[in-house]
Chain A
Amino acid sequence: MISFKNVSKRYPDGYVALNNIDLSVEPGEMVFLTGHSGAGKSTLLKLIAAIERPTSGTITISGQNIAQLKLGAIPYLRRKIGFIFQDHKLLFDRNVFDNVLLPLQIGSFENHMMVSRVRAALDKVGLLKKEKSMPIALSGGERQRLCIARAVVHRPSILIADEPTGNLDVDYARDIMAMFTSFNQVGVTVLIATHDASLLEDTQHRVLSLKQGKLAA
């Protein structure tokens, strides 16, 4: 599903975020990516969605080499991926429903299909009753769940989450992890970056550890 071969990323200022990474994630797998802040977790996730381009190496997503992807093809790659951003990236000028609607509008879905999909996604994350609320009126945990609803509403085959439990208390974090597990159970490939060691204590899933741009064994 996702495979990195000799992937390095050096930023224009000379900082090397990733150094010769090899990794492979199977379809339907759930993988944790851990490491201190600045270890390169976010960079690695951004490379998958072509938000950053690698300096060298090849990245293959469902058989497609995205290091050589043309600019015009990037939107279609991103539609296969549901991305939960560390800073949420919600639109504060529109309500909860319209925030979740956006990926469907972008993906040219039909009108009648959109409404039921949005409601289904909101129901899954427990925000159905708040569909008319503005994001500013939501708590931190609710915003995180809104971000998840937006990431899954178009039913992507890959779900990527960057610090999804960042500032949440333990109960909230556990709820959110349960959601990811349930998405994974219906066949979605899930990749979660976190520095929260408590999430990983009793996980049966694979844990990849990044240290200064390199994968630790």
Chain B
Amino acid sequence: MIRAWLTQHGFVFFLTLKRLISTPVTSLLSVVVMGIALSLPTGIYVLMENLQSISGQSINSPQMSLFLKSDAKKEDIDKIKQRLEENSQVVDFQFVPKDVALHQLQQSNGLTDITTHLVRNPLPDAFIVHTLENTPEALDQLQTVMQKWSEIEYVQFDSAWVERMSALLKLGRFVVLMLATLLSIAIIAIMFNTIRLQILTKRDEIEISKLIGATDSFIRRPFLYFGAIQGLVGGVAAWAIIAFGIETMNKELIELVKLYSFDLSLKHLSLEDSISLLLFSAWLGWLGARLSVASHLWQIEPN
């Protein structure tokens, strides 16, 4: 029973491959169209993933930097510490003395050359403050309070940047979703039409198969396989387009980052995302074929 089932599915699988290969130009064109359509939203998604990982962790934990006046003394620092401890809005803070800040600056890429030429340390002492709330209003309010402290030169607060970044990512996600939806519908439509044409050319075969006892699922099977396999190959094409795109961009980036002695390269699709892409594209092909079969096959009844 299982062997007969395997025989049947194996047969249909190879029959489908044979059909795909027997019309190489048509198959290739369909695969390329599907590949390009899928690579567009997936490509933007990959770029966004990279952007998010480059922009770092600061997105989810807003922090303020309090820079003290450059002539601040030990007493001033203690005063600020005490005030921060008393403030209910402050969850946690960290004191960064100017020497440490300079050392960190020397460690960071790209600036080594600059810092070695410095005669004296231009950096102020600073506090890094993590706040309880992260709404822009609360942060703004806190900023105003701290700015009034006489020992403080400047309160820097990267909420604007954080907000812009997360708004940009949100927009990006929306664009990906919209493109993915529209292009998925396009792929389903392409597959619907491909299968419709196939059903028309296989009219005799379908009719004769029905006459000699083929069940609907037997007749449907080669078309569904065709849809799924072509969808899968389209997904592979999309993956290849993205991989090629990232490789090319990385080559360009190498030139760019060399100038800044900076380490940056774009990451490829993760294994999970790659598998999801392939499964999704196979499913799209299958779905297009399934809808087409459902709306065309019943019209062919032998008489």
**Chain A residues engaging chain B, CB cutoff 8 angstroms:** 46, 49, 51-52, 72, 75-79, 83, 85, 89-93, 102-103, 105-111, 150
How far does the Cβ of A48 sit from chain B's closest Cβ, in whole Å?
A: 13
Task: List 5 interface pairs A-B (beta carbons < 8 Å), by A numbering.
Answer: A79-B212, A83-B211, A83-B212, A85-B211, A89-B207
**Chain B residues engaging chain A, CB cutoff 8 angstroms:** 3-5, 7-8, 11, 204-205, 207-216, 218, 302-303
Check if A78 sits within 8 Å of B211, measured CB to CB: yes
Check if A108 sits within 8 Å of B208, measured CB to CB: no
Pick the residue among B5, B7, B205, B213 that contacts A78 (CB under 8 A).
B213
State A93–B204 Cα separation when bound (angstroms): 10
State A135–B214 Cα separation when bound (angstroms): 21
How far does the Cβ of B248 sit from chain A's closest Cβ, in whole Å?
A: 44
The prevalent SS among residues of B at the interface is: helix
Chain A residue numbers with a CB within 8 Å of B3 are 110-111
Q: Smallest CB-CB separation from A108: which chain B residue?
A: B4
Q: Smallest CB-CB separation from B302: which chain A residue?
A: A51
Check if A75 sits within 8 Å of B213, measured CB to CB: yes
How far does the Cβ of A147 sit from chain B's closest Cβ, in whole Å?
A: 11
Check if A105 sits within 8 Å of B11, measured CB to CB: yes
Check if B213 sits within 8 Å of A79, measured CB to CB: yes
Pick the residue among A52, A75, A108 that contacts B8 (CB under 8 A).
A108
Check if A102 sits within 8 Å of B208, measured CB to CB: yes
Pick the residue among A72, A78, A110 that contacts B212 (CB under 8 A).
A78
Centre residue among A51, A83, A103, A106 by max chain B CB count within 10 A:
A106
Pick the residue among A76, A89, A105, A110 that contacts B211 (CB under 8 A).
A89
Given contacts A75-B210, A102-B212, 19 further A-B contacts (CB under 8 A): A46-B303, A49-B211, A51-B211, A51-B302, A72-B215, A72-B216, A75-B214, A76-B213, A79-B212, A79-B213, A83-B211, A85-B211, A89-B207, A89-B208, A102-B209, A103-B212, A105-B8, A106-B213, A108-B5
Chain A residue numbers with a CB within 8 Å of B210 are 75
Q: Smallest CB-CB separation from A85: which chain B residue?
A: B211
State A150–B214 Cα separation when bound (angstroms): 14
Chain B residue numbers with a CB within 8 Å of A83 are 211-212
Check if A111 sits within 8 Å of B209, measured CB to CB: no
How far does the Cβ of B206 sit from chain A's closest Cβ, in whole Å?
A: 11
Chain A residue numbers with a CB within 8 Å of B11 are 105
User: With A51-B302, A109-B4 in contact, do A91 and B213 touch (Cβ < 8 Å)?
Assistant: no
Pick the residue among B207, B209, B303 that contacts A106 (CB under 8 A).
B209
Smallest CB-CB A-B distances: 3 pairs: A78-B213, A79-B213, A108-B4
Q: Smallest CB-CB separation from A78: which chain B residue?
A: B213
State A109–B11 Cα separation when bound (angstroms): 12
State A106–B7 Cα separation when bound (angstroms): 11
How far does the Cβ of A179 sit from chain B's closest Cβ, in whole Å?
A: 19
Pick the residue among A52, A89, A108 that contacts B303 (CB under 8 A).
A52
How far does the Cβ of A17 sit from chain B's closest Cβ, in whole Å?
A: 12
State A51–B207 Cα separation when bound (angstroms): 11
How far does the Cβ of B20 sit from chain A's closest Cβ, in whole Å?
A: 16
Centre residue among A46, A49, A76, A110 by max chain B CB count within 10 A:
A110
User: With A52-B303, A91-B205, A102-B208 in contact, do A110 and B213 touch (Cβ < 8 Å)?
Assistant: no
Chain A residue numbers with a CB within 8 Å of B218 are 75, 106
Q: Smallest CB-CB separation from A46: which chain B residue?
A: B303
Chain A residue numbers with a CB within 8 Å of B7 are 108-111
State A85–B208 Cα separation when bound (angstroms): 10
How far does the Cβ of B303 sit from chain A's closest Cβ, in whole Å?
A: 7
State A79–B210 Cα separation when bound (angstroms): 10
How far does the Cβ of B5 sit from chain A's closest Cβ, in whole Å?
A: 7
How far does the Cβ of A172 sit from chain B's closest Cβ, in whole Å?
A: 23
State A49–B208 Cα separation when bound (angstroms): 13
Check if B212 sits within 8 Å of A150, measured CB to CB: yes
State A114–B298 Cα separation when bound (angstroms): 29
Chain B residue numbers with a CB within 8 Å of A77 are 213
Chain B residue numbers with a CB within 8 Å of A92 are 204
